[in-house]
Structure 1
Amino acid sequence: MHKYLNESISADEYFQIRENSEALLEYIDGFVYMSPSPSTKHQRISRKLQIKFGNLLEGNPCELFSAPYDIELKNDKIDGTKIIIPDISIICDKSGFTDARYVGVPNLIVEILSPSNQSHDLITKLNLYMNYGVKEYWIVNPMLNSITVYALNDEKMYEQHDMKTETGEITSKFLNGFRIDLTSIFAN
C-alpha cells in the first residue's frame, strides 16, 4: 500500500481519479492510497474465508461483501472522508447501503496482508477501524500463515482476542461460536 499521489486532494477529486483508474484506490484524510494487485495465495485465502463466513451468515441479517467494494467510514464524532476497500466486510446495519457503496461502520473487517501493505494494515487501518468502532478486525498474514483477531473491549479499544500461526482454530468474539481451522485456510 503506497500513496498514489503525494499531495492532499478533495473527495471529489478522488472520485474523478477513481472513474479513470482500474487500480484499487482508497481515500484517507485527503490522501489516496493504492493497493497492490492480490497474489494467488491472497485470492485463495480470501475465497476460503468468504465461504466460511458466508456459510455462517446464511439466514442471518448480516451480509458479507468482498473487495472491490467501497466502504465510506462514517461516525458522527469523526470528521473527514475515509473510503476504504477491505478484503472482506461483514455488515449488519442495512441503513448505510447506497447504490455505489456502504456508508457507515462494518461490524467485522478482514484485511489480508501483502509484503507492501503490512504497515498500512497493521498500524493505519488498525487505528482507523478502532476509532470508527469496527467491532472486530482480522489481520491475515499469508507470509507467516497467521491470523490475528482484534475485538473492541468495553473502553472501545482493540484487544487481541485470538492469534494463531500455522495450525489451530481461530475464533471470533463478534460471531459467537465461529471457528476456522487455519490449515484449511492456508493449504493450497
Structure 2
Amino acid sequence: MTAVAIKMYTQEEYLELERAAEYKSEYYRGEIFAMSGASRYHNRITENLSIEVGGFLKGKPCQSFSRDMRVHIPENTLYTYPDLLIVCGKPEFLDNQTDTLLNPSVIIEVLSPSTEGYDQGKKFHLYRSLKTLTEYVLIDSQEERAEVYRKGSDGVWRLASEADDLEGSIEIAHIGLTLKMADIYSQVDALRQ
C-alpha cells in the first residue's frame, strides 16, 4: 500500500482558487474540500429561511446573507459557507473584495444526511471561535426538527430553543425573531410527494 500525498495550500492560494472557481469549496488547515450540491428539500428550507429572516430584518441594524457569503475564522483557519447568516452592526470583511465575512452574529445551517454530523460537531466547535457569534441554529432537512444554541454571558453554549413538529417554533433571541416551524418547512411536503 502506498501513501498518497495530500497537497497543502496556503490561505492565499485557497482564496485565489476559490474566487476564480465555478463551484464552492471550504478550507481548513491547508486542505480544500469541495462542497456538494444541496437537495431540493435543503434548498426550499434555505429559501424559506431567507424570506422569513430577510423580511424581518428590513429597516433594522442587522442584515442576512445566504449561502454565497463566505465566512472566515482566523483563529482556526476555517473558510466556509453557512446556509444563512446574520450580522448586526457593520460587517467586517477579510479584505476589499468584501466576499469573506469575519463577524457573523447568528449562523443557520440546514442539515443534510451527508453534513449533519459535521455541522453538529466539528463545524459547531470551529464556529465557537468566532467572538461575535451568539447563536447557532440547526434545521433538519429530512424531518421537522430545529435547535437553537445560544452563548451565555459565561461563554458557555447551551441548547436554548428547539421544536420537532410543525406546530412549534424556535426563537433567535439575538434579533428578537420567533420562527414558526410551519413557515420554515412551507412547501417542503409538496416536494416529497
Answer yes or no: is the 8 Å Cα contact 1:130–1:157 preserved in 2: no
SS of 1:71's partner is strand
2:191: which partner in 1?
none
SS of 1:33's partner is strand
Task: Report the AA paired with residue 91 of structure 1.
Answer: V
2:78: which partner in 1?
82
1:105: which partner in 2?
103
**d(CA) in 2 for partners of 1:95 and 1:181?**
27
Q: Which moved more, 1:60-69 or 1:7-16?
A: 7-16
**d(CA) in 2 for partners of 1:7 and 1:162?**
41
Which structure has the greater CA radius of gyration? 2
Q: Does 1:117 align with 2:115?
A: yes
Q: Residue deviations 1:33-68, cap 9 Å, x none?
A: 222211111111111111111121111111111111
**d(CA) in 2 for partners of 1:187 and 1:53?**
14
So what's the TM-score if we normalise by structure 1?
0.86
Answer yes or no: is the 8 Å Cα contact 2:73–2:130 preserved in 1: yes
* CA distance 1:42–1:26, shift in 2 (3 Å): same
SS of 1:46's partner is helix
SS of 1:132's partner is coil
Q: Which moved more, 1:17-26 or 1:34-43?
A: 17-26
1:48: which partner in 2?
48
- Pairwise CA RMSD: 1.9
Matched-pair identity in %: 25
Answer yes or no: is the 8 Å Cα contact 1:113–1:121 preserved in 2: yes
* CA distance 1:181–1:139, shift in 2 (3 Å): same
**Pairing 1:11-30 to 2, within 5 Å after superposition:** 11-30=11-30
1:147: which partner in 2?
146
**d(CA) in 1 for partners of 2:33 and 2:165?**
30
SS of 2:47's partner is helix
2:190: which partner in 1?
none
Answer yes or no: is the 8 Å Cα contact 1:36–1:116 preserved in 2: no
Task: Report the AA paired with residue 148 of structure 1.
Answer: E
**d(CA) in 1 for partners of 2:54 and 2:18?**
29
**d(CA) in 2 for partners of 1:93 and 1:101?**
17
Offset at residue 123 of structure 1 (A): 0.8
1:94: which partner in 2?
90
SS of 1:36's partner is coil
Offset at residue 69 of structure 1 (A): 1.4
Residues paired across the two proteins, number: 179
Gaps of 5+ in 2: 188-193
**d(CA) in 2 for partners of 1:42 and 1:22?**
21
So what's the TM-score if we normalise by structure 2?
0.84
Task: Report the AA paired with residue 143 of structure 1.
Answer: Q
**d(CA) in 2 for partners of 1:156 and 1:33?**
30
